[in-house]
Chains A and B, each alone.
Chain A
Amino acid sequence: MVRFLLTRFGGAVVLAFIVSTGTFFLLSTAGADPAAALLGIDATSAQIAVKRAELGLDAPLPSRYLNWLGGALTGNLGTSWSTNQQVSSLIATRLPVTLSLAVGAILLSSVLGITLGYISAIKRGWLDRTLQFVVVIGYGLPGFWVALVLSTVFAVQLGWFPATGYTPFTQSPTGWAGTVILPIVALTLGVAASIAQQTRDSVLDVLRQGYVRTLRSRGLPHWRVLVLHVLRNAAAAPLGVISLQFIGLLGGAIMVENVFALPGLGTFAVSSSISSDVPAILGIVVVGAVTVVIVNLILDSVMAWLNPKVRTR
């Protein structure tokens, strides 16, 4: 197990290094002048030159990369060009916001999606067809539209929740809950639809297996067959979808963050890209790469617990 974890940790480091290096050189040779992008259309050439000197853009590219790398290895991800704040502080402030949404949405959508998909596969008939229809609706509704409707109805008109803003959990747990419930619900619908569909297909596939008939013929209680054998063996595919959706939520909640004015990583990533804020983009990329590895590690651990055959690989 220790060897497994060390291997994965080493892989995370290598992945973060490769991704950040590639991103650095791509951004630095992309063509657009970051100083001009930061200052806007009306910036004069003199102003752009001052900004370039201020940001160290006149230094040779390898020198700039080594400076950044040296800082990153000691935990210093540099200063954001567009906000003048430390990148590590910005990420530390924004990551909990995005994690609140992503974790909340994935938990809610997992419960909803697995339950609906499982019931749909077991019951079949009109229930299955109804749930299939609901899944299609869930796929089709854009997340930002759902967010707008929820905000308009429950925040503006009914006043049950705040329309914008984020309250940290440490400041007020109930305040935090109030600021994340609507965004989480907005994110859940599409994700739950995807999980429900995958669960349904996976359960149907397992139900067709010969050993399920055998278990039933042996007289095992129906619930035991469905829960301990069918659901457990059908879990691999939905878990894969869940991990992919979670990774997608980390960077893809931008629309919902915008509607509710949540200071998360999504909005930060977009604004940094628009303003060519290289240190901020690199910081986000590094954190993102590490997060992907951690999520996959958790997934592999859960899969190994569910399926002993995986542990022997």
Chain B
Amino acid sequence: MSRFTVFGAALLVSAVALTGCAATTGGTSAAGDDAEKVLTIGAFYDQPSFNPADSGSGHPVQYMQAVYDSLTKLDPDGTVQPSLATSWSYNDTKTVLTLELRDDVTFSDGTAFTAEAVKANLENVLAGSGQGSSSLASIQSVEVASDTSATITLTAPDPALLYSLGQEGGFIASPTAITAGDLATTPVGSGPYLLDAAQTTAGSEYTFTRNPDYWNTDEFPYDEVVIKPLLTEAARLNALKSGQVDATGGVAKMVAEAEGSGLTVTTAPGDWQGLHIADRAGEVVPALADVRVRQAINFAIDAEGILETIRLGYGERSSQIFSPSGSAWDAELNEAYPYDPEEARALLADAGYADGFDLPMVLSTDYLGDVQAAIEQGLGDVGIRVQWTSVPLTSLGAEMFSGKYPVYFAKLATTPIPWKDLQLPISGMYNLYGTEDATVTSLMSEIGAADDAETGALYQELNEYLVTEAWFDPWYVQDNIYLSNNTVEVEMQQGQIIPSLYNYSPAE
């Protein structure tokens, strides 16, 4: 045996021996009742800012929930519960919301939580660039009635407001820290944990230690929470399988390997995906003004096939833009548009487009590359000739909302609150041409004025109208997938891609 071989073997053995003594990063919950309980989570993304004004829904939630309380709290099924706001009431027109607040909460910098803090925070979020400013867009003003009472005046009824105050719109930071201006990197809240700067490396590992003065400790059984941004699927799965993290988000192609490794897979309804038929007035492509043409598009795409082959079956076939967990959902509507190219061609012929028409669409391979072929083939088979314009991902938003593309692919979140699901596609920027419809406007106005118990039927009526009129071509509601090991029990949060921090508990 050559000297090189012996040397190399000795080197390898030494390396393995050394790493046997190496400190390992990450951890699992400690055993024993008195041992410190540590929860380590692998996150999809890094957290760029702890300022609630910059925050969005979805992935940032766990970072924010670690250090901040929210005004309301959302149960796993989306039911709104008290939190910093102990109770609330609306006036008769549902345009003034009065919040009664806790009087026993202090921020980690010693500032007391009062209605002034609520006013300062809501105004901070409204002035920011985060998604919270969209969620709270109906707020006209916030007034301080007393230390424990705040009044929010709205421009119009907003049935999703209390839900939003439990997420990106309602994280409450110390008003002193808001004024200081360094919340982005130095969060100061009243939440269950405190950011341990000494054990935190931005972009790599965030350590949160228990807030000894927290008012609701029972809700958070862990003494320490560590969140590690693991940006690739391979890193997340390997970290989970090797025990470096206790739980992490997954995608469909990770499930088989995860289950084979004895990991737990939990799912909940996530985004709806499909085509937005924005040009319902036919401004760019006249054909789209005809409901038969829009219905033909719905019949032309093999949505079930896309769900099975590209999303590996993790989702539910849907023709609706609402969540299965919400009151607008009607399972029968999913039968409205089975894959039927013959029917699509017949509808196009009835509408006077037997020879089809050209349809400009925008493409970014990072965003819709995996479904591009299905769209082009499905529409092409019925005579609709897609003309793609390819742009980089960084320009996709500007192009998509430029008004040049009457139909575009998009993914939108679904939540237990149908009103929230309507905002972007109906009232917001996804309604590119500002199309108004008397029936939709009337129903939304009725919903805004109705009591919660009455809205279910109204939402379903609106849903049926949107499906019949083919305002959209939804294909499915994709599953949010979450993976965990046997040391932790996790409950998914409806309408949120990852569980809320209070949805984790040590396994029995």
A interface residue numbers (CB < 8 A to B): 31-33, 35-37, 39-48, 50-51, 54, 82-85, 90, 93-94, 115, 148, 151-152, 155-156, 159-167, 171-172, 174-175, 177-179, 181, 258-261, 263, 267-268, 271, 274, 276
CA of A151 to CA of B19, assembled, Å: 14
Residues of A within 8 A of B216 (CB): none
Shortest B56–chain A CB gap in Å is: 8
B129 x A47 contact (CB < 8 A) = yes
B231 x A175 contact (CB < 8 A) = no
Asked if B201 lies at the interface with its beta carbon under 8 angstroms from chain A, I say yes
Residues of A within 8 A of B185 (CB): 84-85
Q: Which of A42, A43, A160 contacts B19 (CB 8 A)?
A: A160
B395 x A32 contact (CB < 8 A) = yes
Asked if B48 lies at the interface with its beta carbon under 8 angstroms from chain A, I say yes
- Residues of chain B in range 89-144 having any CB-CB distance to chain A below 8 Å: 127-131, 133-134
Q: Which chain B residue shows the least CB distance to A33?
A: B398
Asked if B180 lies at the interface with its beta carbon under 8 angstroms from chain A, I say no
A47 x B133 contact (CB < 8 A) = yes
B133 x A46 contact (CB < 8 A) = yes
User: Besides A90-B203, A151-B238, A162-B242, 14 other CB < 8 A contacts?
Assistant: A41-B367, A42-B134, A44-B428, A48-B129, A82-B48, A83-B48, A160-B19, A164-B238, A174-B18, A175-B23, A178-B19, A178-B22, A261-B229, A274-B393
Residues of A within 8 A of B393 (CB): 274
* Residue-wise interface mask of B (248-281) relative to A, using a CB-CB cutoff of 8 A (1 in contact, 0 not): 0000000000000000000000000000000000
Residues of A within 8 A of B184 (CB): 84
B202 x A162 contact (CB < 8 A) = no
Total count of chain B residues near the partner, CB < 8 A: 55
Q: Which chain A residue shows the least CB distance to B19?
A: A178
Q: Which of B18, B232, B397, B429 contacts A40 (CB 8 A)?
A: B397
Shortest B240–chain A CB gap in Å is: 9
B202 x A152 contact (CB < 8 A) = no
Known A32-B395, A50-B129; judge A163-B201 contact (CB<8 A).
no
Shortest A166–chain B CB gap in Å is: 7
Asked if B309 lies at the interface with its beta carbon under 8 angstroms from chain A, I say no
CA of A163 to CA of B392, assembled, Å: 32
Residues of A within 8 A of B130 (CB): 47
Shortest A156–chain B CB gap in Å is: 5
Asked if B25 lies at the interface with its beta carbon under 8 angstroms from chain A, I say yes
**A–B Cβ pairs within 8 angstroms, 19 of them:** A32-B394, A39-B129, A41-B400, A156-B238, A156-B241, A160-B16, A162-B244, A165-B26, A165-B244, A166-B25, A171-B23, A175-B25, A178-B19, A181-B19, A258-B232, A258-B234, A258-B235, A261-B228, A261-B231
Asked if B300 lies at the interface with its beta carbon under 8 angstroms from chain A, I say no
Asked if B205 lies at the interface with its beta carbon under 8 angstroms from chain A, I say yes
CA of A181 to CA of B22, assembled, Å: 12
A261 x B397 contact (CB < 8 A) = no
Residues of B within 8 A of A268 (CB): 203
CA of A43 to CA of B185, assembled, Å: 22
Known A174-B18, A175-B22; judge A165-B204 contact (CB<8 A).
yes
Residues of A within 8 A of B15 (CB): 177, 181
CA of A263 to CA of B185, assembled, Å: 18
- Residues of chain B in range 396-411 having any CB-CB distance to chain A below 8 Å: 396-398, 400, 410
Residues of B within 8 A of A36 (CB): 394, 397-398
Residues of A within 8 A of B46 (CB): 83, 271
Q: Which of B127, B202, B428 contacts A83 (CB 8 A)?
A: B202
B231 x A258 contact (CB < 8 A) = yes
Asked if B498 lies at the interface with its beta carbon under 8 angstroms from chain A, I say no
CA of A75 to CA of B240, assembled, Å: 40
Most buried by A among B4, B49, B238: B238
B202 x A90 contact (CB < 8 A) = yes
CA of A46 to CA of B134, assembled, Å: 9
CA of A268 to CA of B18, assembled, Å: 29
B232 x A54 contact (CB < 8 A) = no
Q: Which of B234, B394, B400, B410 contacts A151 (CB 8 A)?
A: B234
The A interface, classified by DSSP as helix, strand, loop or mixed, is: helix
B48 x A263 contact (CB < 8 A) = no
Residues of B within 8 A of A156 (CB): 238, 241-242
A161 x B394 contact (CB < 8 A) = no
Q: Which of A37, A39, A85, A171 contacts B202 (CB 8 A)?
A: A85
Shortest A283–chain B CB gap in Å is: 14
Asked if B24 lies at the interface with its beta carbon under 8 angstroms from chain A, I say yes
CA of A39 to CA of B230, assembled, Å: 20
CA of A159 to CA of B128, assembled, Å: 46
B238 x A163 contact (CB < 8 A) = yes
CA of A278 to CA of B133, assembled, Å: 25
B394 x A274 contact (CB < 8 A) = yes
Q: Which chain A residue shows the least CB distance to B367?
A: A41
Q: Which chain B residue shows the least CB distance to A276?
A: B394
Q: Which of A50, A163, A171, A177 contacts B127 (CB 8 A)?
A: A50
Q: Which chain B residue shows the least CB distance to A270?
A: B231
Residues of A within 8 A of B201 (CB): 93, 263
Residues of A within 8 A of B127 (CB): 50
Residues of B within 8 A of A181 (CB): 15, 19
Q: Which of B20, B22, B228, B232 contacts A259 (CB 8 A)?
A: B232
Asked if B1 lies at the interface with its beta carbon under 8 angstroms from chain A, I say no
Known A43-B397, A44-B134; judge A162-B129 contact (CB<8 A).
no
A263 x B238 contact (CB < 8 A) = no
CA of A175 to CA of B244, assembled, Å: 14
CA of A171 to CA of B24, assembled, Å: 12
Asked if B21 lies at the interface with its beta carbon under 8 angstroms from chain A, I say yes
Shortest A223–chain B CB gap in Å is: 15
A167 x B25 contact (CB < 8 A) = yes
Asked if B424 lies at the interface with its beta carbon under 8 angstroms from chain A, I say yes
Asked if B492 lies at the interface with its beta carbon under 8 angstroms from chain A, I say no
Q: Which of A83, A151, A163, A175 contacts B203 (CB 8 A)?
A: A83
CA of A177 to CA of B239, assembled, Å: 18
Known A41-B400, A42-B131; judge A152-B238 contact (CB<8 A).
yes
B235 x A162 contact (CB < 8 A) = no
A165 x B25 contact (CB < 8 A) = yes
Known A115-B4, A156-B241; judge A166-B204 contact (CB<8 A).
yes
Residues of B within 8 A of A163 (CB): 235, 238-239, 241-242, 244
CA of A25 to CA of B245, assembled, Å: 42
Residues of A within 8 A of B367 (CB): 41
Known A85-B185, A177-B15; judge A32-B392 contact (CB<8 A).
yes
Residues of A within 8 A of B232 (CB): 258-259, 261
- Residues of chain B in range 19-48 having any CB-CB distance to chain A below 8 Å: 19-26, 46, 48
7 shortest A-B CB distances, which residue pairs? A178-B22, A178-B19, A165-B25, A163-B238, A175-B23, A84-B184, A263-B204
CA of A47 to CA of B22, assembled, Å: 46
